[in-house]
Structure formats: structure tokens, C-alpha cells
């Protein structure tokens, strides 16, 4: 099979691949955008520009590190471009001429009046750019000045400004949405009413990163004071996926979507596309690892598509949208229970603690003497590993037998009590050994039916109420 075609089309804006750099520090200058295109990025959204350059503060970013992994979440109190409009316009025109096949979209944010928007749209489109992205998403700094999320949190403002821009725009107009809102669909619908050609989401989430326990100052701080900032990076991906899905599934929206938020690997990008994004944008991962991560994005996407027989992006964009819906549509008669593969188990007890204290008290613990335990194992389990990538059950170290999880001459053995297991997944999520706990199908006493059907059948007297599971 020849290589799949990964060229993308978002509301008529084409790019050689679906990977765009999101508006932010990596797209603040021609120098960076040129290097990004040379590295393989398919498009960029230029760092948000305005009539006047803003003044930034020193000290701007904060991060959440988790369990040895740096920058799981990233926060910034940076504003829009700190460069002059003339400089930006000249460089955008240069880049578009140099890279005619790449997508160059320009992010805009100006005062909320019609003349200002008309003026900037005309000047920006004269550069030859491929589209405009209206930044109604920035939740900090600019929102205090009545811009960014101050517009994107109010459906009427979103519709009004979108409509102003659409009065004169010649290129497609994307609306970049803020996640700092109760129900993103209302803003998506307002953008659609205003005439938007596509949506882009998410911008950053309002956040305070923390307080330094030595200095008692906020993180990050500017001369001892902090300000709420925008949160992004891997930690926000599930929030972004939910919002992308909500808009992709909403028949009143029906617009192409550019998905953003926490993408750091090709797999993340594919998930966004399966849930309805026509292409994706990346900011934090490019800031953390550099432009060359796009090589991994491209090769990973291509081989995944090849493996599944997809020839072009449209073969799978939106594929999983119908699989997510309301809770009331889930099947009450579907049942899975946990099962431990004892040949993989390292007897650590994490599943037991989690089920006992945080779930449904459905894991039994029994004690086996070390000798009895050793007798049960085959030769393959001892010393030379079990071929599963994990430590063997028994290691010989310095001539002594060392058994994982053993203490006081005993080994704890954990088994699932499947009669009471409610199939919550918790034990399998906390188990440190891959594929050691599987969730396996089980026969249910409840017939296959959704909660809605259950209510109907109850009201018609066709079914007895489902009995609650037994508790300790
Ligand atoms: C330091 C920084 C500056 C940003 N500046 C802008 C901006 O000027 N305009 C904009 O629309 N989004 C801006 N963003 C938001 C990103 O474009 C993106 O929506 C968000 O970071 C989520 O994507 P990520 O998780 O890949 O970073 C900025 C993000 C960061 C981290
Ligand atoms: S799936 Fe939930 S209830 Fe069942 S054993 Fe695991 S933690 Fe306990
Ligand atoms: S968490 Fe996994 S490895 Fe640890 S005892 Fe439970 S099943 Fe075994």
C-alpha cells in the first residue's frame, strides 16, 4: 500500500499535513515559523496580533511536574504579541510567499469595536495569509481589557464580533473558543450564527499554579504578586477532547474544528480527529520538546493509518463521535469484572488497598508460606523471568531467594471476588503491571437496556426494580 495521504483541509484552508503550531510563543516571528515549516509542520496560527504591541511582565510561566515527569501542566500569564503590527505584517507576507503550500493563519485580537476589527482584517488579509483566527479565548490579562475570553464567554458578543469580521473578510474565519465556560455549545452556536467558517479549541484554562511553601509567594510571581493564568499541556487533553466532541456532535454547530489542548504525540492527535477535529494545533509540546516532534507526529500518523487501511484523513475524522453520548443511553445489562493474571502479579497489594478503601471491597487476600508459593511456580517463573518484561516471581540474589511482595515468610495472594465486583476498573488502573488485571465480560442478571428503557419498562410495570449490589 502506498503512503496514506495526510494532507488536510480545514474550511478550505489546505496544508500538507494536519499538524499546525497553535498561536503562541513558537509562532511569534518569521524566524520561528520558517524553521517550523522546514521541520515539517503543515501550518501555523501566528501569535495573536493587535494594533499595538503589548507590554509583558518578566516571569511568565509555571508548570506542574508529576511523579518525575516534567511539565504535565503548563501555565502562562503572557499576553499577545509584543511586536509591532508593521513588523508582524511584513513577516507574515514574507512567510506566505516562501511557503505557498503551507497554511498561514493569523490570530487577531483588537478592541471590541467594529472599525478596529475591520481595519485589522483588511491589513492582515493584504499579507496573503490563508485565514483568520479570532482569539476569543485568552483568559488572562487581555480579558481584563474587555478582549479575549471577555468576548468568548458571552454568546451575544461572540456572534456580534464574528459578524463584524465576516462583513469584510475574504479568507476563512476561525473562532478560537475559551474553555472557561459552562457549556461550550452555546458559544459554538453563537459563532456559527455570526457566520464563522470553523472553530478552534481549546484556548487555556483559568488557573493558579500554586504557592511556594518557602517564600509563600504565588507561582509564578512578579515582584511577589501573581495573577491567574492560562493552563494547558498534557493535563488538559481530556477537557479539550470533551469540548471538541460536544461541538462535533451538536447538529446546531456543524462547523469544521481545529483541535487544540495537550497534544504531545501522534496518538493524541488521532484521538482529536476521531472525535471530530479536521486538524490539530500544538503549543506546549513544541515549547517543551522543540519543532522536531512533528517528525514523530507525521510518521506515527502515517503508519497508524497504513495499519488500519485508511487512505486519507477523511476516512476516520469524526469516526468516534457517535460512540459518545448521554449516560442515559448506556447499556445497564453490560457487565465486566476484574480478573488478575497471577503469573504477572507481583503481589504488591495496590489493587487490594484501592478496592478496599476506594471501591467495592471485592479483592480477597490470602497468605501463602514462601515455600508453598515457590512450589506452585514453574521453573520459568524462577530466576530467569517470565518473558513478560517484568521481574520474575522469584529472583536469586547473592544465593538467596527473593520473592516479590514477601514478608515474614509469607506471600500475599490477591484474588478478585467476582460475585461482588462492580467492574469499576479502579484496581486495573492502579495496578503497576501492564495487563495484569483484565476487565473480562461476565453474565449479567440485568437484561440489555438503557436507563431510559429501564424507566419506561418500570413505569409500564414490565420489570422489577434493579436491586442494589450487596455491600460489606
Ligand atoms: C505561553 C503561551 C502563550 C499563548 N499565547 C496565545 C496567543 O497569543 N493566542 C492564542 O490564541 N492562544 C495562545 N496560547 C494558547 C495556545 O494556542 C493553545 O490554545 C493552548 O496552549 C492549548 O494547547 P497546548 O496544550 O498544546 O499548549 C498560548 C499558550 C501558551 C502556553
Ligand atoms: S473492578 Fe472495582 S470493584 Fe472490582 S475488584 Fe476492581 S476495584 Fe474492586
Ligand atoms: S496491583 Fe497488580 S501487581 Fe499488585 S497485587 Fe494487585 S494485581 Fe498484583
d(CA 193, CA 270): 29
**Contact present, 246 and 184 (Cβ < 8 Å):** yes
Which residues neighbour 86 within 8 Å (Cβ) at sequence distance 6 or greater?
none
pLDDT, position 382: 54
Residue 45 CA: which ligand is closest? 1
Q: Is the CB of 338 under 6 A from ligand 2?
A: yes
Distance 424 CA to ligand 2 centre (A): 5
Instruction: Look at residue 385 in the predicted model and tell me its pLDDT.
Output: 45
- Cβ(266)–Cβ(297) under 8 Å? yes
| Mutation probe of ligand 2 site: the residue of 352, 355, 425 with most atoms within 8 A of C-beta | 355
Burial group, residue 336, by CB count within 10 angstroms (0-12, 13-18, 19+): middle
Stretches in the chain below the pLDDT threshold 70: 1, 378-393
Taking the CA of residue 54 as centre, how many other CA atoms within 13 Å lie in the half-sphere pointing to its CB? 19
Q: Is-contact 137 124, C-beta < 8 A?
A: no
> How many whole angstroms from 450 Cα to the centroid of ligand 2?
23
The candidate with the shortest Cα–Cα distance to 332, out of 461, 466, 456, is 466
CA 372 – CA 250 distance, rounded (Å)? 60
pLDDT confidence of residue 384: 45
Q: Which residues are catalytic?
A: 138
Query: What's the CA gap between 209 and 76, in Å, rounded?
Result: 9
How high is the pLDDT of residue 380? 52
Q: Is 431 in the pocket of ligand 3 (CB under 6 A)?
A: yes
Supply the pTM of this predicted model: 0.94
Pocket of ligand 1 (CB under 6 A): 22-25, 47-48, 74, 76, 78, 80, 107, 135, 137-138, 176, 203-204, 232-233, 236, 260-263, 282-285
Quick: pLDDT tens for 410-425: 999 999 999 999 999 9
SS3 (DSSP) at 276: coil
| Rounded Cα–Cα distance for residues 176 and 331 (Å) | 36
**E strand spans, 208-290:** 210-211, 218-219, 229-232, 257-260, 277-282
Please tell me if the CB atom of residue 360 comes closer than 6 angstroms to any atom of ligand 2: yes
pLDDT the model gives residue 390: 46
3-state helix, strand, coil in the chain (%, to 5): 35, 25, 40
* Those residues with Cβ within 8 angstroms of residue 235's Cβ, 6 or more apart along the chain or in another chain: 64, 72, 73, 262
Let me know: does 75 contact 61? Beta carbons within 8 Å: yes
Q: Is the CB–ligand 3 distance for residue 235 below 6 Å? A: no
pLDDT digits (tens, 9 = 90+) for 43-55: 999 999 999 888 8
Q: Where are the alpha helices (DSSP H) in 328-472?
A: 350-358, 370-376, 426-430, 451-459
Amino acid at each position: 500500500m502506498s503512503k496514506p495521504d495526510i494532507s488536510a483541509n480545514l474550511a478550505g484552508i489546505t496544508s500538507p499535513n494536519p499538524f499546525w503550531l497553535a498561536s503562541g510563543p513558537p509562532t511569534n516571528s518569521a524566524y520561528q515559523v520558517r524553521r517550523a515549516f522546514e521541520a515539517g509542520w503543515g501550518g501555523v496560527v501566528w501569535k495573536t496580533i493587535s494594533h499595538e504591541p503589548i507590554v509583558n511582565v518578566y516571569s511568565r510561566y509555571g508548570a506542574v511536574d508529576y511523579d518525575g515527569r516534567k511539565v504535565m501542566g503548563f501555565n502562562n500569564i503572557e499576553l499577545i504579541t509584543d511586536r509591532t503590527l508593521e513588523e508582524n505584517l511584513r513577516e507574515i507576507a514574507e512567510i506566505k510567499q516562501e511557503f505557498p503550500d503551507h497554511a498561514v493563519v493569523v490570530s487577531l485580537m483588537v478592541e471590541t469595536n467594529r472599525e478596529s476589527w475591520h481595519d485589522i482584517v483588511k491589513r492582515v488579509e493584504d499579507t496573503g495569509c490563508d485565514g483568520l483566527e479570532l482569539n476569543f479565548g485568552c483568559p488572562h490579562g487581555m480579558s481584563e481589557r474587555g478582549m479575549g475570553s471577555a468576548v468568548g464567554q458571552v454568546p451575544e458578543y461572540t456572534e456580534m464580533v464574528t459578524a463584524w469580521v465576516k462583513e469584510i473578510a475574504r479568507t476563512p474565519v476561525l473562532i478560537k473558543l475559551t474553555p472557561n465556560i459552562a457549556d461550550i455549545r452555546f458559544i459554538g452556536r453563537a459563532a456559527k450564527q455570526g457566520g464563522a467558517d470553523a472553530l478552534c479549541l481549546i484556548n487555556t484554562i483559568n488557573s493558579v499554579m500554586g504557592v511556594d511553601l518557602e517564600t509563600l509567594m504565588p507561582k509564578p510571581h512578579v515582584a511577589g504578586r501573581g495573577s491567574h493564568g492560562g493552563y494547558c499541556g498534557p493535563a488538559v487533553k481530556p477537557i479539550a477532547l470533551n469540548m471538541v466532541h460536544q461541538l462535533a456532535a451538536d447538529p446546531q454547530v456543524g462547523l469544521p474544528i481545529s483541535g487544540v489542548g495537550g497534544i504531545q504525540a501522534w496518538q493524541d492527535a488521532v484521538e482529536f480527529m476521531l472525535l471530530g477535529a479536521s486538524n490539530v494545533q500544538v503549543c506546549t509540546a513544541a515549547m517543551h520538546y522543540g519543532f522536531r516532534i512533528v517528525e514523530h507526529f507525521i510518521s506515527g500518523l502515517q503508519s497508524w493509518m497504513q495499519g488500519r487501511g485508511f487512505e486519507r484523513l477523511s476516512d476516520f475524522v469524526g469516526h468516534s463521535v457517535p460512540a459518545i453520548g448521554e449516560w442515559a443511553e448506556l447499556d445497564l445489562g453490560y457487565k465486566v469484572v476484574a480478573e488478575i493474571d497471577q503469573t504477572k502479579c507481583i503481589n504488591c497489594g495496590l489493587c487490594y488497598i484501592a478496592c478496599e478503601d476506594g471501591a467495592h471491597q471485592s479483592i480477597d487476600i490470602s497468605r501463602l508460606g514462601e515455600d508453598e508459593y515457590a512450589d506452585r511456580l514453574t521453573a520459568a517463573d524462577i530466576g530467569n523471568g517470565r518473558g513478560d518484561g517484568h521481574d520474575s516471581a522469584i529472583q536469586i540474589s547473592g544465593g538467596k531467594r527473593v520473592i516479590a511482595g514477601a514478608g515474614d515468610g509469607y506471600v500475599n495472594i490477591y484474588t478478585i471476588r467476582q460475585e461482588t465486583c462492580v467492574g469499576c476498573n479502579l484496581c486495573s488502573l492502579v495496578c503497576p503491571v501492564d495487563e495484569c488485571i483484565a476487565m473480562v465480560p461476565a453474565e449479567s442478571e440485568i437484561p440489555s437496556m438503557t436507563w431510559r428503557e429501564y424507566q419506561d419498562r418500570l413505569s409500564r410495570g414490565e420489570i422489577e426494580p434493579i436491586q442494589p449490589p450487596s455491600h460489606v
